[in-house]
A and B are shown apart, each in its own frame.
Chain A
Amino acid sequence: MIARPAAAGRKAVPGIPAGLGPAQLLDLYYFMRLTRSLEERLTNLYRQGKVIGGLFRSLGQEADSVGSAYALDRSAGDILSPLIRNLGSLLVMGASPVDVLRQYMAKATSPTRGRELNVHFGDLERGFVGQISHLGDMVPVMAGITLTFRMRGERRVGLVYVGDGAMSTGAFHEGMNFAAVRRLPLVVVAENNGYAYSTTLERQTAVPQLVLKAKAYGVPGERADGNDVLAVYEATRRAVDRARAGEGVTLIELVTYRRKGHAEHDDQHYVPREELARWERNDPIARHVQRVTEHGWLEAGELEAADARVAAELDAAVRVAEQEPLPEPATALEGVYAQPSRQPAPGHREVARA
């Protein structure tokens, strides 16, 4: 587990929402900052050609990932499944920045040993399941995970992220319906960031708000400002509490905005400039900083210390990851099955070696 900034000796300050104390507010800041800074480091590495594949930014969406994941109880064994723009949720659950760097740089030491890209990796011990590229597929999988919690009588909760795009898939529908029918302890977080690649919300769905879809599944829905980390936390926390109490699925729509293209190669030429400018003024980290300092919940020095800590951690992580090798080619044959543990090489490979 990542050590969180110490909060020893601090008293709860009246007025902070959702029963949070200053330590948690600093946590939320730290994870949002870590997410943004890690992606900035990745952008540099991408430009240097060291990120092998695409780079997917969550700039401007850090609050929705961090605030929602923060509402889970890691000590209870809660599990989430992220999408491509939920790096922040992985960091909250305890994924280490060096592992994220290794993934992007296809290192032998990466959690997937170079088999998968970017944030497509999981760690059940830490409470997250690796996604695949096929949007919506993680909803049925998380239904199965939460079904298992139920079968074993465990008071654990699952959380799955979908986007405005993923909600158009059949897998989303099937998983959502399945989970709703069985009243599974699952929180479905719908990130409405305005775009699925280049496709706008109104070309994706005929409903004006994603939360309206909750009604069709017979589950409660809630809509929150996705750029307000405390609002995100509160909405998700309510859903998590309901799930843990055996009250079933909740659909939460978090309204946010994707300030970068689909991936780093995408120049967003289809995005109106004034729309982009408007959302830049609605930055989730800046809003959080302004509120916690305005109310005196945190001091500027505490935020600066968190910044310094993030920078130092990332310096170290980049140094480690950069030096590590790519996987040995023939390891590609390992681990398709438990048994046999290694696939045969194609005949022409053996001929070439002989």
Chain B
Amino acid sequence: MPEVTYLEALRQGLREEMRRDERVFILGEDVGRYGGAFKVTEGFFAEFGEGRVIDTPISEAAIVGAAAGAAHLGMRPVAEMQFIDFISCAYDMLTNYVATARYRANLACPIVVRGPCGGYVRGGPFHSQNPEAAFLHTPGLKIVCPATARDAKGLIKAAIRDDDPVLYFEHKYLYRRIKENLPEDGDLVTPIGSARVAREGRDLSVITYSAMVWKALEAAEVLQKEDGLQVEVLDLRTLLPMDDAAILETVRKTNRVMIVHEDTRTGGVAGEIAARINEGAFEWLDAPVLRVTAADTPLPYAPTLEDYVLPQVADIVTVARKLAAY
């Protein structure tokens, strides 16, 4: 089993799906000959040709809209947002057109919209965003956020095969930092809607996703060594539909829960998770549900500022100690 990066795992998943199913094609800015800003589609132009790896003008609404039109006719388009920050330019198309297509018009719209999200890379306010909360609120969409190389591959394959529109948010900090041994053959598919226990524990739970899974795992190590705490880390993997069963199970197991996400705090995904815990397992809680998130600011550029705004391992450790002592 060769070791592959998160980025290579994603690329493998895309390539395998394109080889498997001729209805799958890619469109986006600079995805063709150039291979994409982060080289996710490197080599695709040569292998699959201009007809299936389509360079577009700088037009996110047209990219998503055209993907939708193709999907209505049975194609399986994968649209790349060069940085996920630019998905806001297609917000209308995604929320009004794509998300409602099946409901209002019985029109299948099996598209994947993917792109690099996230900070910790000194990208500043427009190359670091985490837009999941803006779309979590839209019935008709699905949202996946892989944290591991295995899921980067497994979720892109599941997303392409899904009959509904899927937003696939890949974390650019993880692209080349995360490596994993993956089987060379075999069909590696991660089911959409299913969370994963990334680390077992009995004292408290960290519910998280995407790059924060790794921060939570680091914090869990610290807490075990320094405090003797057994921290459970739940990697949601899919935000929409949310794996309520897995969330409630970890709540019932540890009775102390914190939610960690990189996105800003107010109106973030953590609020929704906390509400579900409140409705579904209130009597199992020994402490209030706490949050570790980014501060409610645009994401600044300077390292000192970015590090201050974004959640750090030390923040998770601090809040976990408070939770354990409650």
Query: What are the residues of chain A within 8 A of B47 when measuring CB–CB?
Result: none
Instruction: List chain A residues, Cβ under 8 A from B60.
Output: 174
Partner of B66, one of A112, A124, A132, A178: A178
Task: Knowing A137-B92, A140-B93, A339-B164, say if A112 contacts B104 (CB, 8 Å).
Answer: yes
Q: With A115-B104, A338-B164 as known contacts, state yes or no: A148 contacts B62, CB within 8 Å.
A: no
Of B65, B68, B69, B71, which is in contact with the most chain A CB atoms at under 10 Å from its CB? B69
Query: A347 contacts B102, CB within 8 Å?
Result: no
Compute the total of residue contacts between A and B using a CB distance below 8 Å: 137
Q: Does A168 contact B (CB under 8 A)?
A: no
- The answer to whether B102 touches A141, judged by C-beta atoms less than 8 angstroms apart, is no
B318 at the interface (CB under 8 A from A): no
Across the interface, do A140 and B62 meet the contact criterion of CB distance under 8 Å? Answer: yes
Residue-wise, chain A 310-323 has the 8 Å CB interface mask toward B (1 for contact) of 00000000000000
Specify which chain A residues have a CB less than 8 angstroms from the CB of B63 in the assembled complex: 140, 178
Q: Mark A241-273, 1 if CB is under 8 A from B, else 0.
A: 000000000000000000000000000000000
Smallest Cβ distance from A187 to chain B, in angstroms?
15
Q: Which residues of A contact B75 (CB under 8 A)?
A: 148, 151
Interface positions, chain A 139-163, Cβ under 8 Å from B, are 139-148, 151
The chain A residue with its CB closest to the CB of B58 is: A174
Interface string of B106-125 (1 = CB under 8 A from A): 11100000000000000000
Contact of B62 among A134, A174, A347 (CB under 8 A): A174
Give the distance in Å from the alpha carbon of A343 to the alpha carbon of B96 in the complex: 18
Cβ–Cβ < 8 Å partners of A133 in chain B: 96
Contact B69 A144 (CB under 8 A): yes
Residue B82 CB within 8 A of the other chain: no
Smallest beta-carbon distance B240→chain A, Å: 10
* Given known contacts A132-B100, A147-B70, A137 and B139 CB-to-CB distance under 8 angstroms: no
Query: Are A171 and B163 touching (Cβ within 8 A)?
Result: no
Using Cβ atoms and an 8 Å threshold, which residues of chain B touch A343? 139
Chain B residues near A347 (CB, 8 Å)?
Answer: 279
| Contact size range, A | 35 or more
Query: In the assembled complex, how far is the CB of residue B193 from the closest CB belonging to chain A, in whole angstroms?
Result: 9
Contact residue among A121, A143, A336 (Cβ-Cβ distance under 8 Å from B103): A336
Check if A142 sits within 8 Å of B69, measured CB to CB.
yes
Name the B residues within 8 Å of A143 (CB-CB). 62, 65-66, 69
| Identity of the chain A residue whose Cβ is nearest the Cβ of B25 in the assembled complex | A151
Distance, CA A87 to CA B92, complexed state (A): 25
Query: Which of A145, A177, A340 contacts B73, CB < 8 Å?
Result: A145
Q: Which residues of B contact A141 (CB under 8 A)?
A: 65-66, 68-69, 72, 97
Q: Which residues of B contact A335 (CB under 8 A)?
A: 102-103, 106
Question: In the complex, what residue of chain A is closest to B139 when comparing beta carbons?
Answer: A336
Task: Tell me, yes or no, whether B294 is within 8 Å of chain A by CB.
Answer: no
Q: Find chain A residues with CB under 8 A from B72 CB.
A: 124, 129, 141, 144-145
Chain B residues closer than 8 Å to A145, beta-carbon distance: 69-70, 72-73
Contact A174 B61 (CB under 8 A): yes
Known contacts A181-B57, A336-B140; A171 and B107 CB within 8 A of each other: no
Across the interface, do B105 and A121 meet the contact criterion of CB distance under 8 Å? Answer: yes
Q: Which residues of A contact B274 (CB under 8 A)?
A: none
**Does A175 contact B164, Cβ atoms closer than 8 Å?**
no
Q: Is the CB of A177 within 8 A of B163?
A: no
- A175 closest partner in B (C-beta): B62
Closest Cβ of chain A to B169, distance in Å, is 19
Q: How far is the CB of B52 from chain A (nearest CB, A)?
A: 8
| Further contacts, 7 of them, CB under 8 A, given A337-B140, A338-B162 | A130-B105, A146-B69, A151-B52, A170-B61, A174-B61, A175-B62, A335-B102
A-B contact pairs, 29 of them (CB 8 A): A116-B105, A122-B105, A124-B73, A129-B105, A129-B107, A130-B107, A134-B92, A134-B97, A137-B97, A140-B59, A140-B61, A140-B62, A141-B65, A141-B97, A143-B62, A143-B69, A144-B70, A144-B71, A145-B70, A147-B70, A148-B73, A151-B25, A151-B70, A151-B75, A175-B62, A177-B62, A336-B139, A336-B140, A337-B163
